[in-house]
């Protein structure tokens, strides 16, 4: 075999990174019945009212929000760690075990319905 990239990528047994990401995200979201959608690039996300949860590397997930008032609440969840922080937006990484808590902060509920968390003030 020549090791030609075109013949290697045509192997139907190889699964793309996007497909692995989608399968992983669905597996993690299934117990909570969160709706997993694809973003513009084809990677899975769980959208919420105040941000979104994204696939990161197969071990961790990422949360993105452009609501500065939520930054401290997200960082207070055990296992959540800062990844990228700006003045008005933030991305943090977290283990799948913290999915439910992170989803509650960004306003996500099962089936894609918006969840109003009583611990988040209405002024946000």
State pLDDT tens for residues 24-83: 999 999 999 999 999 999 999 999 999 999 999 889 999 999 999 999 999 999 999 999
pTM (2 d.p.): 0.76
- Closest to 36 in 3D by CA, of 98, 103, 87, 92: 103
In total, how many domains does the chain have? 1
Q: Judge whether 124 and 74 are in contact, CB under 8 Å.
A: no
Residue 67 forms part of a structural domain: yes
9 inside domain: no
Handedness of CA 86, 72, 92, 109 (dihedral sign): negative
Q: Establish if 3 belongs to a structural domain.
A: no
């Amino acid at each position: 075999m020549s090791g030609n990239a075109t013949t290697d990528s045509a192997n139907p047994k190889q699964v793309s990174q996007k497909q692995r990401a989608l399968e992983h995200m669905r597996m993690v979201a299934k117990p909570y019945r969160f709706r997993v959608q694809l973003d513009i690039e084809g990677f899975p996300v769980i959208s919420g009212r105040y941000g979104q949860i994204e696939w990161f590397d197969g071990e961790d997930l990422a949360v993105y929000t452009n609501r500065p008032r939520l930054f401290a609440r997200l960082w207070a969840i055990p296992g959540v760690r800062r990844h990228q922080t700006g003045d008005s937006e933030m991305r943090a990484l977290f283990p799948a075990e913290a999915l439910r808590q992170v989803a509650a902060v960004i306003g996500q509920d099962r089936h894609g319905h918006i969840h109003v968390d009583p611990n988040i003030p209405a002024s946000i």
